[in-house]
Structure 1
Amino acid sequence: MSSSRVRKEVDEALYAFVDRQRPGLLGISEDLSPMLSALDVLLAGGKRLRPAFCYWGWRALGGADGPEIIAAAASLELLQASALIHDDVMDGSDTRRGQPSVHRRFEALHASEGWPGSAVPFGMGAAILLGDLTLAWSGEMFDTSGLPGEVLAPGRPLYDVMRTEVMCGQYLDMLEQARGTGDVESALRVVKYKSAKYTIERPLHLGAAMAGASAADLEALSDYGLPLGAAFQLRDDVLGVFGDPAETGKPAGDDLREGKRTVLIALAQERATPAQREVLRRRLGDPGLDLSGVEELRTILVETGALSGCESMIDEFAAQAHVALAAAPIAAEAVAALTDLTVAATARRV
């Protein structure tokens, strides 16, 4: 199965599940319609990487193609929706995938209806609840995928640890922003738990475990998934500062306004002159940062070598992933598909 077909079938399974849930919510109250509308908009975007890695982890260990594994893998998009909704609340983000973020959408609903009180806590509360709902639905979709219980059973502990790790990674990310003194080692720790494990390693493990993977098989997939996941996140960090808003779906320099303590920023702080470090201290995390301020910070990231250093790390991690994949004892069809996914995850340039 081609990657494009996997994505198409994941979309179909995901939308079918939400459509099955729709009557239950609207049966409670028609007032829940905006919740479903917000979810529909959010789910319409995304790369579907986690379901793809889960599916190919399954196929890598000899699992047969079928709608059941597609549905189980697609459940990870509901987990991702939960993570994105909550992440945007914590970061105060205005947009996601080129659309208003969920909490901003509900703020606008409150304002347009002329309801009393502040729209801000209403928007935040509604978003938190929708994030909680999609988290619950992710487990429900996995359990009702149609795979036999004995096949699902080895995957459940991995699903649980995946959810735990991403929440811990999110807290560590918040902690680094609060401290404002993160170094490269600390930033890479966030990358590992918030992205590398969550986006690639654990989805691969989930699919492979359900197909009967041994401990050695899972270790081989980790040797591939962890460096690729790190490369993927570092690429996202670069695009978050230097990327085209039409491609990223967020305003130019939004990560700088949010004060994200990425590896890119940590490299700049390590290599900056005292004057450059003072500019970073003063301007990073300023929600009112204008385009000239964004350009000033970008210049520092280039002049300190932080951008080129980050690109070198991406190349090194991607090379590690390619070597590990070539050595992995998995099906040839999965090697080909995972090679394509490796390129898709890391080759995007600013």
Structure 2
Amino acid sequence: MAEYLLTSDARTASSGKENLSVIRDAVDAELYGFLDRKRRSLLNPIDAQLGAAIGLLEELAGAGGKRLRPLLCYCGWLAPGGTGDDAPVLKVAASLELFHMFALIHDDVMDASESRRGRPTLHRQMADDTDPRTTGGNRQRRRGDDADRLANNCAILVGDLALVWSDELIHSSGLTSVQLRAVRPLLDAMRTELMLGQYLDVRAACDLGVDVDMALAIARHKSGRYTIERPLQIGVALAGGDEGVLRACSDFALPVGEAFQLRDDILGVFGDPAVTGKSRLEDLRDGKATTLVALALKQANEAQHRTLTRLFGDPELDDSGAAQVRELLIATKAVETVERMIRDRWQRGMRALEDIPFSEAGRAALRSLAVAAIERKA
């Protein structure tokens, strides 16, 4: 795998996607293999109750996902000249997907989201589940708020399990002590940044006073660093990259990470649910403090501002009200401004990428991943 990518210097970024698909399959093999080993280790009836949780994690992993973080990690190892056995690197990359699954499950509970990747979210599945293995056998099923509370609690615990196992997968990956010491601070930083970003996001919900700078800061911590920067740096650290290379990675990854989240903001309101797998009402009903909305409020005239503040964050917002919000996001030129911000950040990231001491094939692979992150429809 490594040789195929490294010797494809003359290939374009689009042809690099074929190589990335091979890496993606290898990461999935590690991820599903780990979960299967966990299932086979359940030796008694009490432990076997975890089988249902493993099944839910397998279903979430199998429902789709771009595997962007694992791919960035692996390419981060490959681009500066990572060589030798790549099995430990693939396990670390797979652990990042488990960590991502933890984040998705908890995020969906906090947002009371109904769908993820075109299917009910994990907590909704558990609330609606009629399988006696997960509803207590012959016990009377809980209903209404009681069922929702139980499902939320169980989903949080399944998410916690994904977090714990992501750490276990790293420690059982076969990394050398030098590699483990190199990646540990980056893993710790990534986890802290995600939690801080999520905390700020929850605190800012329905706060119409959140300005563009704060919205960008939330995006940077909640998504940009944990999606692009840290996975790339973890891979580089596994290859022995020094502090200078890690800093250079940030110059590429941070603007691309912000562009990733800005695209997410647009898709959350304008995306096709059949493609994104998510409702485009939820962000508006939840009052998500996005850069898109902050710009619209800043650039709106008095009448537009009144309408936005009346509709944004309304938990009963319907399709008609959401259509009004979308019209205002366009009329205030907020969408146009965000698209320009995405382009500017893309260009900044691409300029920085040229200065990183990576192989040309490594740069091509990272360029391909950046395109996928920014031009995506889901």
What TM-score results when the alignment is normalised by the length of structure 1? Answer: 0.95
Cα distance in 2 for partners of 1:297, 1:322 equals 33
Cα distance in 2 for partners of 1:283, 1:306 equals 16
1:80-104: CA deviations, max 9, x gaps?
Answer: 0000000011111011111111111
1:175-205: CA deviations, max 9, x gaps?
Answer: 1115332110000001111111100111111
Cα distance in 2 for partners of 1:33, 1:83 equals 21
Aligned partners of 1:78 and 1:134 also within 8 Å? yes
Structure 1: which amino acid aligns with 2:98?
L
Structure 1: 5+ residue stretches without partners:
none
Aligned partners of 2:206 and 2:289 also within 8 Å? no
Aligned to 2:360: 332
Structure 2: 5+ residue stretches without partners:
6-18
Cα distance in 2 for partners of 1:211, 1:106 equals 41
Alignment of 1:165-244 (within 5 A): 165-244=193-272
1:298-344: CA deviations, max 9, x gaps?
Answer: 00000000000000000000000110001111122211100111111
Aligned partners of 2:207 and 2:287 also within 8 Å? no
Q: CA deviation at 1:77?
A: 0.4
Cα distance in 2 for partners of 1:252, 1:188 equals 21
Aligned to 2:68: 49
Aligned partners of 1:259 and 1:284 also within 8 Å? yes
- 1:90 alignment partner, one of 110, 120, 131: 110
Cα distance in 1 for partners of 2:239, 2:377 equals 35
Cα distance in 1 for partners of 2:169, 2:249 equals 25
Q: Is the aligned partner of 1:132 residue 2:160?
A: yes
- Aligned CA-pair RMSD: 1.7
Structure 2: which amino acid aligns with 1:79?
F
Aligned to 2:119: 99
1:275-303: CA deviations, max 9, x gaps?
Answer: 22122222112232221111110000000
Distance 1:25 1:183, change over 3 A: farther
Distance 1:111 1:212, change over 3 A: closer
Aligned to 1:58: 77
Aligned to 1:77: 97
- Percent identity among equivalent residues? 47
Cα distance in 2 for partners of 1:38, 1:289 equals 31
Cα distance in 2 for partners of 1:208, 1:16 equals 25
Aligned to 2:50: 32
Cα distance in 1 for partners of 2:315, 2:219 equals 23
Q: CA deviation at 1:274?
A: 1.8
1:142-201: CA deviations, max 9, x gaps?
Answer: 111122232222111111111111001100111111533211000000111111110011
Cα distance in 2 for partners of 1:286, 1:235 equals 23
Aligned to 2:278: 250
Structure 1: which amino acid aligns with 2:50?
L
Cα distance in 2 for partners of 1:30, 1:101 equals 23
| Greater relative contact order structure (CA < 8 Å, 6+ sep) | 2
Aligned to 1:345: 373
Aligned partners of 1:224 and 1:324 also within 8 Å? yes
Aligned to 1:19: 36
Q: Does the residue aligned with 1:179 lie in a helix, a strand or coil?
A: coil
Aligned to 2:11: none
Q: Is the aligned partner of 1:149 residue 2:177?
A: yes
Q: CA deviation at 1:253?
A: 2.9
Q: Does the residue aligned with 1:146 lie in a helix, a strand or coil?
A: coil
Cα distance in 2 for partners of 1:291, 1:207 equals 43
Cα distance in 1 for partners of 2:216, 2:56 equals 33
- 1:297 alignment partner, one of 304, 310, 325: 325
Distance 1:349 1:94, change over 3 A: closer
Structure 2: which amino acid aligns with 1:340?
S
Cα distance in 1 for partners of 2:27, 2:195 equals 24
Aligned partners of 1:110 and 1:119 also within 8 Å? no
Aligned partners of 1:205 and 1:221 also within 8 Å? yes
Q: CA deviation at 1:111?
A: 9.8
- 1:5 alignment partner, one of 22, 46, 49: 22
Cα distance in 2 for partners of 1:334, 1:295 equals 43
Structure 2: which amino acid aligns with 1:32?
L
Structure 1: which amino acid aligns with 2:141?
W
Structure 2: which amino acid aligns with 1:72?
V
Aligned partners of 1:264 and 1:310 also within 8 Å? yes
1:19-62: CA deviations, max 9, x gaps?
Answer: 11113457334433332222111111210000111111111221
What TM-score results when the alignment is normalised by the length of structure 2? Answer: 0.89
The structure with more helix, counted as a fraction of residues: 1
